[in-house]
Structure 1
């Protein structure tokens, strides 16, 4: 399943909505997606959203859509 992970670049600074980034990740479930991001980055994860159906189709049409591999 594809997940969209919203994150901040640093765990040290207070989160600001303007500094939120996102990445797309293929994982078995939300817990596996969170574990992969925590194991390979220093990101402060805000939320993880499962994408399927029309939502996934919409995201895949965007210029920034690229699956992240660790």
Structure 2
């Protein structure tokens, strides 16, 4: 499954404008958190992408699945 992760770098003040996203292939939300645990980030939200949403996200120029 593909998950979209909304996060902010942990070394900056938390603001809505500072939110970034990345995409991770994992078995569950818990698996995503485990795979990203070594990164210095504040995870705001993890969303499992359904097929249509995944197809939409792939059209973005910033779409790239992280290898973790």
Tell me the TM-score normalised to structure 1 length.
0.89
Corresponding residue of 1:67: 65
Which stretches in structure 2 are left out of the alignment for 5+ residues?
Answer: none
RMSD: 1.1
Once residues 30 and 21 of structure 2 are traced to their aligned partners in structure 1, the CA distance between those partners, rounded to angstroms, is 17
Alignment of 1:1-70 (within 5 A): 1-10=1-10, 12-38=11-37, 40-70=38-68
Divergent runs of 4+, >3 A: none
Query: Greater strand share, 1 or 2?
Result: 2
Query: How many corresponding residue pairs?
Result: 68
Q: Secondary structure at the match of 1:28?
A: coil
Tell me the TM-score normalised to structure 2 length.
0.92
